[in-house]
């Protein structure tokens, strides 16, 4: 049932404040602010120094975000692979303490094959998974649920932001267990995460402005998405959403990579979506924006109030979110890019809930 919404995807985008709240509740005691592993899981990070993450598609981008979180907040080194490569890469796994898989459906063949491979190699396995009765959930040693509820739209939305929520909170738990974060740092981070539902609501309020951008986006055949640091995985996911839904050719890049090749694509007809909250790497991203602006590229800047006040280059259009703590920003910014892809697709008349050639769960390798 789509309720008042035109598509399941739109409904699922709007469910996010609620389901992110549910997911967070599994990883944080919201009365004390203490992080925890979900009930019934005896997973401890005390002796985890290296995690090997694998997943596919949107799950892979959540995994990339997980890498940034675990490295920043828990000082745990992370390897990351698309699941279809992990198994064949013959990477030495001797110093890997945990193999972590991210999957909405829990049935993706490539991810399942990687999980089985990791078990054969004698690794401890954990899965961040949305469907609790799935094969991946059954076969993993530790099950780390996302509580997004059933996701019908083929393009993943709420499952992704719930994956980010779970991974962020877990990285805080890991940081505490490893002695990287003290009690005060833990509370500051979990309080920031507890703001996620409200901040996603703030993002949803920008739908009209995003729809306007989408009308312009729909006139283009190509687009670039740039982000640095915590915004890099979000840029990649934003590009995937746009290409899946609207069939516009979209590429996500680390903002710093622009000058190493993709800058050759920039002219007046190239929209460049820049994800740039006013964080520790903002100034660097602004220099990359200047490179785009100097070549006439059409910049769509997604930033916060401080970023909008500070930015030195003229963007073609700007979406302004409230200032927010770094750990929670990826979740809110992802929602803007979901709405951009959604409205571009609606504008172009493509099948939003069932994009061509795609299936909700990919059960062949
Ligand atoms: O169910 P999974 O999370 O394992 O699925 C992985 C990918 O197939 C999936 O994320 C796919 O990329 C979606 N269409 C993204 O919107």
Q: Are 298 and 281 in contact (CB under 8 A)?
A: no
User: Counting beta carbons within 10 angstroms of the beta carbon of residue 92, is it exposed (0 to 12), middle (13 to 18) or buried (19 or more)?
Assistant: exposed
User: Tell me: the pLDDT tens digits for 99-126?
Assistant: 999 999 999 999 999 999 999 999 999 9
Ligand 1: does its nearest atom lie under 6 Å from the Cβ of 244? Answer: yes
Residue 101's nearest CA partner among 157, 46, 39, 146 is 146
User: Tell me: the pLDDT tens digits for 315-339?
Assistant: 899 999 999 999 999 999 999 999 9
| Token couple for 325 | 């703590």
Q: Are 232 and 256 in contact (CB under 8 A)?
A: no
User: Tell me: the pLDDT tens digits for 43-91?
Assistant: 999 999 999 999 999 999 999 999 999 999 999 999 999 999 998 888 8
Kindly give the distance from the C-alpha atom of residue 162 to the centroid of ligand 1, in angstroms, as a whole number.
Answer: 14
Residue 279's nearest CA partner among 349, 326, 226, 232 is 326
Residue 61's nearest CA partner among 128, 147, 150, 121 is 128
Which of 45-54, 130-139, 351-360 is least confident?
A: 351-360
Ligand 1: does its nearest atom lie under 6 Å from the Cβ of 58? Answer: yes
What is the structure's pLDDT at 226?
98
DSSP symbol at 122: T
Q: Are 67 and 98 in contact (CB under 8 A)?
A: no
| Token couple for 37 | 């592993």
Average pLDDT over residues 150-169: 97
Judged against a pLDDT cut of 90, whether residue 342 lies above it is answered with yes
Ligand 1: does its nearest atom lie under 6 Å from the Cβ of 362? Answer: yes
| 159-198 CB burial, b ≥16 within 10 A, e <16 | bbbbbbbbbbbbbbbbbbbbebbeeeebbebbebbbbbbe
Average pLDDT over residues 192-201: 98
Ligand 1 mutation pick, 107, 140, 155, 156, max ligand atoms within 8 A of CB: 156
Distance separating alpha carbons of residues 251 and 265, to the nearest angstrom: 11
Helix (H, G, I), strand (E, B) or coil at 178: coil
Task: Report which protein residue has its CA nearest ligand 1's atom 7.
Answer: 57
Structure confidence at residue 242 as a pLDDT band (50, 70, 90): very high
Which of 1-5, 141-145, 231-235 is least confident?
A: 1-5
Q: Are 252 and 227 in contact (CB under 8 A)?
A: yes
Between the two ends of the chain, the Cα-to-Cα distance in Å is 31
Bridge partner list, 125: 99
Structure confidence at residue 314 as a pLDDT band (50, 70, 90): confident
Structure confidence at residue 356 as a pLDDT band (50, 70, 90): confident
Ligand 1: does its nearest atom lie under 6 Å from the Cβ of 111? Answer: yes
Q: Are 203 and 161 in contact (CB under 8 A)?
A: no
Residue 12's nearest CA partner among 282, 353, 304 is 353
ipTM of the complex: 0.98
Which of 52-61, 86-95, 272-281, 306-315 is least confident?
A: 306-315
**Global pTM exceeds 0.90:** yes
What is the structure's pLDDT at 361?
84
Structure confidence at residue 312 as a pLDDT band (50, 70, 90): low
Kindly give the distance from the C-alpha atom of residue 361 to the centroid of ligand 1, in angstroms, as a whole number.
Answer: 7
Helix (H, G, I), strand (E, B) or coil at 146: coil
User: Tell me: the pLDDT tens digits for 217-227?
Assistant: 999 999 999 99
Bridge partner list, 287: none
Ligand 1 mutation pick, 58, 129, 152, 365, max ligand atoms within 8 A of CB: 58
């Amino acid at each position: 049932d789509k309720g008042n919404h035109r598509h399941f995807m739109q409904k699922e985008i709007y469910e996010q404040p609620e389901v992110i709240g549910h997911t967070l509740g599994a990883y944080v005691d919201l009365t004390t602010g203490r992080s925890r592993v979900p009930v019934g899981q005896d997973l401890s990070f005390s002796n985890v120094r290296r995690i090997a993450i694998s997943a596919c598609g949107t799950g892979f981008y959540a995994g990339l975000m997980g890498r940034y979180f675990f490295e920043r907040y828990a000082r745990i080194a992370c390897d990351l692979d698309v699941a279809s490569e992990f198994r064949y890469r013959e990477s030495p796994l001797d110093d890997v303490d945990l193999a972590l898989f991210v999957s909405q459906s829990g049935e993706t063949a490539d991810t399942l094959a990687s999980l089985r491979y990791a078990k054969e190699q004698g690794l401890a396995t954990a899965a961040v998974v949305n469907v609790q009765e799935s094969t991946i959930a059954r076969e993993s040693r530790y099950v780390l649920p996302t509580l997004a509820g059933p996701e019908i739209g083929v393009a993943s939305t709420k499952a992704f932001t719930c994956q980010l929520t779970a991974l962020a909170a877990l990285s805080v738990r890991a940081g505490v267990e490893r002695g990287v974060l003290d009690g005060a740092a833990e509370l500051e981070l979990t309080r920031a995460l507890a703001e996620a539902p409200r901040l996603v609501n703030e993002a949803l309020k920008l739908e009209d402005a995003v729809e306007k951008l989408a009308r312009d986006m729909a006139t283009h055949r190509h687009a670039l998405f740039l982000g640095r640091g915590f915004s890099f995985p979000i840029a990649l996911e934003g590009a995937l959403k746009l290409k899946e839904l609207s069939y516009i050719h979209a590429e996500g890049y680390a903002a710093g990579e622009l000058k190493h090749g993709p800058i050759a694509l920039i002219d007046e007809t190239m929209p460049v979506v820049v994800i740039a909250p006013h964080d520790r790497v903002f100034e660097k991203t602004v220099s990359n924006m200047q490179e785009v602006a100097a070549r006439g590229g059409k910049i769509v800047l997604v930033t916060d109030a401080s970023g909008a006040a500070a930015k030195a280059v003229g963007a073609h259009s700007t979406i302004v979110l409230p200032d927010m703590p770094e750990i929670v920003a990826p979740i809110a910014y992802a929602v803007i890019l979901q709405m951009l892809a959604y409205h571009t697709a609606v504008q172009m008349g493509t099948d939003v809930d069932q994009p061509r050639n795609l299936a909700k769960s990919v059960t062949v390798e």
